[in-house]
């Protein structure tokens, strides 16, 4: 596809082509290909295919530009359990098209991935971007949630009222804006509770994330392992006002000021439409 080839070339140069009629959207992924579990176990993971590609496809088709980044600028990984048409509503054609687009973008290639570091994004300038999106998969539970560079970026977006969208496990990355994100996360991992920060910038925001109920139903994916904590609990402890769909795994998107959060993989299409609406 000509559009995707042009996009890949622009991203390889570290930025997107300038288009006065398009928005610039930053997609932030994890450097990690695993999630550390309790008792020294680990789970091979990454981003969820549909949670990344359904919004990316919608953005590209609407004429917007996208830039991909990870905290350190390493090529991200896709969670292999997400490479399944069931996450695309059983639509085989859409599933295969997303696989093809991901391949054309070269995101997973350590040699030609267009991904840049968040330090590079700061050099480009946060003002260059109109929105940021962080998809799920379990990987955001590993490094984005304690990344100082991500915390700085999200704080800037918050202060400027710029659209900040996150899906599934992605909203856990909001913890990175805490003054001591690592301390909060370490305390929560060790004791199941942590001292909320009164000045956390998202305190009082209504939001959603992959729910405890869904975590319990999906824990078989962890091959007998157990997560150190669930994102619903951590975000609620931090001061967020959690909301969930009535039925597990049903689409659910919450909008509060600049923040747009989606609960699970099924929420990615609706979240994409909210992003498009805000970029118009």
Report the pLDDT value the prediction gives residue 12, as an integer from 0 to 100: 40
pLDDT confidence tier of residue 103, bands split at 50, 70 and 90? very high
- Over residues 255-278, the pLDDT tens digits come to 999 999 999 999 999 999 999 999
Report the pLDDT value the prediction gives residue 6, as an integer from 0 to 100: 41
User: What integer best gives the mean pLDDT of the chain?
Assistant: 92
Report the pLDDT value the prediction gives residue 195, as an integer from 0 to 100: 83
- Over residues 59-91, the pLDDT tens digits come to 999 999 999 999 999 999 999 999 999 999 999
pLDDT confidence tier of residue 198, bands split at 50, 70 and 90? confident
For residue 161, pLDDT over 50 is answered with yes
Q: What is the mean pLDDT of residues 99-126?
A: 95
Q: Which of 63-77, 102-116, 129-143, 190-204 has the lowest mean pLDDT?
A: 190-204
3 state SS for the chain = CHHHHHHHHHHHCCCCCCCCCCCEEEEECCCCCEEECHHHCEEECCECHHHHHHHHHHHHHCCCEEEEEECCCCCCCECHHHCCHHHHCCCHHHHHHHHHHHHHHCCCCCCCCCCEEHHHHHHHCHHHCCEEEECCCCHHHCCHHHCHHHHHHHHHHHHHCCEEEEECCHHHHHHHHCCCHHHHHHHHHHHCCCCCCCCCCCCCCEECCCCHHHHHHHHHHHCCCCCCCCHHHHHHHHCCEECCCCCCCCCCEEEECCEEEECCHHHHHHHHHHHHHHHC
pTM over 0.85: yes
Q: What is the mean pLDDT of residues 38-51?
A: 97
């Amino acid at each position: 596809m000509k559009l995707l080839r042009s996009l890949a070339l622009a991203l390889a140069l570290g930025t997107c082509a300038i288009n006065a009629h398009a928005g610039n959207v930053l997609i932030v992924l994890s450097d990690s290909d695993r999630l550390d579990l309790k008792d020294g176990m680990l789970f091979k993971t990454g981003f969820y295919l549909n949670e990344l590609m359904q919004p990316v496809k919608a953005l590209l088709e609407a004429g917007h530009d996208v830039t991909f980044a990870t905290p350190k600028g390493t090529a991200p990984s896709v969670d292999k359990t997400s490479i399944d048409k069931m996450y695309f509503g059983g639509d085989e054609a859409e599933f295969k098209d997303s696989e093809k687009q991901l391949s054309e973008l070269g995101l997973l290639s350590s040699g030609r991935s267009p991904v840049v570091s968040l330090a590079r994004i700061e050099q480009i300038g946060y003002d260059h971007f109109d929105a940021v999106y962080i998809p799920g998969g379990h990987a955001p539970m590993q490094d984005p949630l304690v990344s100082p560079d991500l915390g700085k970026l999200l704080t800037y977006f918050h202060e400027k009222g710029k659209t900040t969208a996150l899906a599934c496990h992605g909203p856990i990355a909001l913890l990175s804006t805490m003054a001591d994100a690592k301390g909060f996360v370490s305390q929560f991992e060790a004791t199941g509770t942590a001292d909320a920060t009164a000045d956390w910038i998202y305190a009082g925001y209504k939001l959603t994330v992959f729910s405890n109920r869904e975590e319990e139903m999906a824990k078989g994916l962890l091959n007998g392992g157990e997560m150190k904590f669930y994102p619903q609990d951590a975000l609620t402890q931090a001061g967020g006002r959690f909301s969930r769909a009535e039925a597990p795994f049903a689409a659910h998107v919450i909008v509060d000021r600049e923040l747009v959060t989606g609960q699970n993989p099924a929420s990615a299409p609706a979240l994409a439409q909210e992003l498009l609406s805000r970029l118009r």
